[in-house]
Amino acid sequence: MTAVRDRALAIVELLAHNVHGLPMSEVGDRLGIPRTAAHRLLTDLKETGYVKQDPNSSQYMLTVKLASLGLSYLSATGITDAAQPLLDDLAEASGELVRLAVVEGDDLIWVAKAQGARTGLRYDPDAGLEIYLPATANGMAFLAALDEERALSLVSRQGMERAREMGPGAPQSLRALMAQIEQARERGFAVVFDAYEAGTSAVAAAIRIDENGEPIGTVSIAGPSIRMTPERMEVLGPQVCECAKALALASRSSPMFARRPSAA
């Protein structure tokens, strides 16, 4: 029973990162599941309303049911109600994309955003759910808020290989990454230029409920590198830090963070 449940969850997570769907054979092959078992699990998920099948391509993809459950959960925690006005204000002030991520176990997950760019170049990526820590401002802000041992364990878990396929500003070695993390600690916020992808840059700060606790999330401002210059980052950095502090205060009433442990 456990194996079946784990396989079903693995399929859901795989499809969540492939919004245009995948054929049954590829689902099975990617997850190392026999194709007959993959077909059976996809049929079960389809019958329960979590997966649908494109009649033209036979691709399997998630329905909005799972997203609806996630949004309902976030709404019930109160975090989106508290956070959205703060994100909207920062987006309006910066004129760029503002995003909120929360820590879930060892992962940093996107949960909300606000777009401040109304005309001209806009940065609004489909970045998936989980944040790649070594090549994003959010990831570096998160890692900078941890002790070195914990930060290294999370980087080891995700690996540095993906960073080598990203933008020219992505760190190409663990040494380079740790140097950027140390800079973020000293500065109080993380900055990346052309790291996640060429032509986009970002600044981010960690959200802490208390000074000695691990971060509960991150907030960032991202936009085209032509606008996100080093000089502008120095202006936006303190603004994103102030937003992080406001989000920390707002999150105190959310049951999602009520029992987060603090560092000793």
Q: Are 145 and 206 in contact (CB under 8 A)?
A: yes
Q: Which CATH architecture has domain 76-251?
A: 2-Layer Sandwich (3.30)
**What is the reported pLDDT for 68?**
63
Q: Are 94 and 239 in contact (CB under 8 A)?
A: yes
Residues of the chain with CATH 3.30.450.40: 76-251
**What is the reported pLDDT for 261?**
47
**What is the reported pLDDT for 201?**
95
Contacts (Cβ under 8 Å, ≥6 apart) of 212 = 262, 263
Distance of CA 47 to the CA centre of its chain: 30
**What is the reported pLDDT for 259?**
47
Distance CA(62)–CA(55), nearest Å, equals 14
Q: What is the three-class DSSP state of 78?
A: coil
Residues of the chain falling short of pLDDT 70: 1-5, 67-81, 118-129, 252-264
Give this prediction's pTM. 0.71
Task: Domain 2-62: give its CATH code.
Answer: 1.10.10.10
Contacts (Cβ under 8 Å, ≥6 apart) of 83 = 100, 112, 247, 250, 251
What phi, psi does 62 have (nearest 5°)? Answer: -75, 150
**What is the reported pLDDT for 262?**
45
Contacts 24+ apart (CB under 8 A), 167-176: 167/135, 167/194, 167/195, 167/196, 167/197, 167/198, 167/199, 167/200, 168/194, 168/198, 169/193, 169/194, 169/195, 169/201, 170/134, 170/135, 170/195, 170/196, 171/134, 171/135, 171/195
Q: Are 190 and 140 in contact (CB under 8 A)?
A: yes
**What is the reported pLDDT for 88?**
93
- Amino acid at residue number 140: M
User: Could you tell me where the DSSP H helices lie in the chain?
Assistant: 2-16, 24-31, 35-47, 64-77, 79-94, 137-144, 148-158, 174-187, 230-251
- The tens digit of pLDDT for each residue in 198-207 reads 999 999 999 9
Q: Are 124 and 97 in contact (CB under 8 A)?
A: yes
Residues of the chain with CATH 1.10.10.10: 2-62
